[in-house]
């Protein structure tokens, strides 16, 4: 029985669900892993994660489709990205087949929390891994915990499809040759001061520029950029210091193969932004959130798509992607994994 939750009014917050998955890495091997009802973790005071932030995570969603099935979207790509994150932070790899199996177990065990089709909410899954044994010299932990919990969520930005206003940040979220391309907790800790001050000044998010030259568009704190040119081309920044968004990679495919649009994945100079027709933020949490205005130290760039609604190309991308996720449109081979 679906839980009695006011699905349509959910924000992007934590709601404790019934089961989560836990596996421990001890003596050089992962144990079998179990589902547990215990949402708390007890750690030694000197655990690697607490001292040196040795933690990585992922984010993906489960959806209830039009015909009542529960599905997940491209969990194999999250599993693979977590392998890259683990290697970069000297953590053990959690096998990709076990990752997908654990995702399925958590969704199935919490099926009552998968929001109804059409409610606007989805079940967000958060796989993560951290160093769990005491570490005091700067070195990797030797014991780790891999977990997945889930929580039903609504839109990441209040207002859902309403265009947001972002500012160009003076802070960087990543360093050249740093960890910007992996999903490490430390990247998000780096962004907290920037987001708190952005909110205090009335902005919804930060646009980060490339940390080396500060001339190119990178991404926001939690999503990649998609721009649309005045002649209908999709342009998305390419950089070694941004997260390789699964949503962005999927949208590039959708733009080309479903919508017949031209797509450019390339360096995008900030100077070009004033000439774009539409701008959106794409990610698992953000889906595609339209940007209406970008403020660069008091200078406003108002996208022609305006502050009332998504631009027409952004809307087509949004409708096609969510159509695939919710089972209204046929998905490319392998994109949708059915849970039940």
**Contact set with ligand COI (CB under 6 A):** 59, 222, 283-285
Residue 178 binds ligand PLP, judged by CB under 6 A: no
Return the residue matching tokens 């199935």.
108
Residue 55 binds ligand PLP, judged by CB under 6 A: no
Residue 148 binds ligand PLP, judged by CB under 6 A: no
17 binds, among ligand PLP, ligand COI, none (CB under 5 to 8 A by kind): none
Interaction residues for ligand PLP, span 181-220 (CB under 6 A): 219
CA distance 48 to 28: 16
The residue among 17 and 224 lying less far from ligand PLP, judged by its C-beta, is 224
Structure token digits, residue 337: 């994994």
Measured at CB, which residue is nearest to ligand COI? 59
The candidate with the shortest Cα–Cα distance to 61, out of 78, 44, 47, is 78
Closest CB 331 distance from ligand PLP, rounded Å: 16
* Angle 131-135-139 from CA coordinates, rounded to 5°: 85
Q: How many residues bind ligand PLP (CB under 6 A)?
A: 12
The candidate with the shortest Cα–Cα distance to 277, out of 314, 252, 305, is 305
Measured CA distances, 280 to 273, 275, 308, 315 (Å): 12, 15, 14, 10
For the question of residue 104 being annotated catalytic, the response is no
Q: Could you give the 3-state DSSP secondary structure of residue 205?
A: strand
Stated as kind and residue range, the H or E segment containing 87 is helix 75-88
Residue 222 binds ligand PLP, judged by CB under 6 A: yes
327 binds, among ligand PLP, ligand COI, none (CB under 5 to 8 A by kind): none
Residue 33 binds ligand PLP, judged by CB under 6 A: no
Closest CB 248 distance from ligand PLP, rounded Å: 6
Give the interface segment with ligand PLP, choosing from 4-12, 156-164, 222-230, 261-269 (CB under 6 A).
222-230
Max intra-chain CA distance, the chain: 58
b/e burial code for range 44-76 (CB count within 10 A of at least 16 → b): eeebbbbbbebbbbbbbbbbbeeeeebbbbbbb
Of the residues 61, 104, 105, 183, only one is catalytic, namely 183
92 binds, among ligand COI, ligand PLP, none (CB under 5 to 8 A by kind): none
Q: Which residues bind ligand PLP (CB under 6 A)?
A: 59, 219, 222-224, 243, 245-248, 283-284
By annotation, the residues acting in catalysis are: 183
């Amino acid at each position: 029985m679906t839980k009695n939750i006011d699905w349509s009014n959910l924000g992007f917050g934590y709601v404790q669900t019934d089961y989560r998955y836990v596996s421990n890495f001890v003596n050089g091997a992962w144990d079998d892993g179990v589902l547990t009802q215990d949402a708390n973790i007890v750690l030694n005071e000197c655990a690697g994660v607490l001292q040196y932030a040795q933690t990585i995570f992922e984010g993906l969603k489960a959806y209830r489709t039009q015909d009542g099935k529960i599905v997940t979207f491209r969990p194999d790509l999250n599993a693979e990205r977590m392998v890259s994150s683990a290697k970069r932070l000297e953590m053990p790899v959690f096998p990709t087949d076990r990752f997908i199996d654990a995702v399925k177990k958590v969704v199935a065990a919490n099926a009552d929390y998968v929001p109804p089709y059409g409610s606007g909410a989805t079940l967000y899954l958060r796989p993560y891994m951290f160093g769990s044994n005491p570490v005091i010299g700067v070195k990797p932990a030797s014991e780790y915990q891999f977990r997945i919990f889930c929580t039903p969520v609504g839109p990441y930005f209040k207002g859902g499809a309403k265009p947001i206003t972002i500012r160009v940040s003076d802070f960087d979220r990543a360093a050249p040759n740093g960890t910007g391309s992996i999903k490490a907790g430390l990247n998000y800790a780096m962004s907290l001061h920037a987001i708190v001050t952005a909110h205090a000044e009335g902005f919804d998010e930060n646009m980060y520029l490339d940390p080396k030259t500060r001339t190119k568009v990178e991404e926001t704190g939690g999503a990649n950029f998609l721009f649309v040119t005045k002649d209908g081309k999709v342009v998305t920044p390419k950089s070694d210091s941004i997260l390789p968004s699964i949503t962005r990679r999927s949208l590039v495919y959708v733009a080309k193969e479903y919508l017949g649009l031209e797509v450019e994945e390339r360096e995008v100079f900030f100077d070009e932004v004033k000439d774009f027709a539409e701008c959106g933020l794409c990610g698992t949490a953000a889906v595609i959130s339209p940007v209406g205005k970008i403020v660069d130290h008091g200078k406003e760039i108002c996208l022609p798509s305006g502050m009332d609604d998504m631009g027409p190309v952004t809307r087509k991308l949004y409708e096609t992607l969510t159509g695939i996720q919710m089972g209204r449109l046929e998905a490319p081979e392998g994109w949708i994994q059915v849970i039940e």
